[in-house]
Amino acid sequence: DGGITQSPKYLFRKEGQNVTLSCEQNLNHDAMYWYRQDPGQGLRLIYYSQIVNDFQKGDIAEGYSVSREKKESFPLTVTSAQKNPTAFYLCASSISGVEQFFGPGTRLTVL
Amino acid sequence: AQSVTQPDIHITVSEGASLELRCNYSYGATPYLFWYVQSPGQGLQLLLKYFSGDTLVQGIKGFEAEFKRSQSSFNLRKPSVHWSDAAEYFCAVGYILTGGGNKLTFGTGTQLKVEL
């Protein structure tokens, strides 16, 4: 079945540690996105990538980094520079149109 | 810059009652508009979308939405709510990026509770 997978579903991190969230898609979509979701704030765009080896900052990129070495994969690293990383992280992808398809999400908790 | 307002943070309806969730947007050109639904701890599922044409669009699970340009609104409706509709609903406005892909701006969501 085609879709977007995110792993792990739950992730715990100690303060000061970097952590990487995985996002894989087998939809053959060119564009991929990372969002952060906090209660009462909707979804906010962190980074997006329109093609392999290229990505752009979204609205809240500080403290995050990404790579896009393969079309299918768009991992997100939450660095120690991110002051408040506890949140629900959603990955999405899209083809040439405007509709985005979402993965199941990863909940990151900083201990 | 585009923006989306969902004025109702929480809504409670009785099962079988009708539902309307409000969404207002701000965007300079013809918008692409979406409604997504999210169950707790899950990703977002697309309910329906408006790109152009008929201003009344039908979606999955019996939902519909009407685009009203004069009011900058895209309200979501359902004639008879089922208990399984309890979830969080997000309205979004989007545009296509030069070079491919797109960018969506989301509202803050409306949490729907259904009373049995």
- pLDDT tens, position by position, A1-44: 679 999 999 999 998 899 999 999 999 999 999 999 998 888 99
pLDDT in tens, B45-89: 999 999 888 999 999 999 999 999 999 999 999 999 999 999 999
- Other Cβ atoms less than 10 A from the Cβ of A106: the count is 22
Query: What whole-number distance in Å separates Cα of residue B20 and Cα of residue B84?
Result: 16
B69 DSSP assignment: G
The answer to whether A19 touches A111, Cβ cutoff 8 Å, is no
C-alpha distance from A104 to closest chain B C-alpha (Å): 4
Strand partners, A93: A32, A101
In this complex, the residue of B90, B95, B100 whose CB is nearest that of residue A42 is B90
With an 8 Å Cβ cutoff, is A52 touching chain B?
no
Residue B72 and residue B50 in contact, taking contact as beta carbons nearer than 8 Å: no
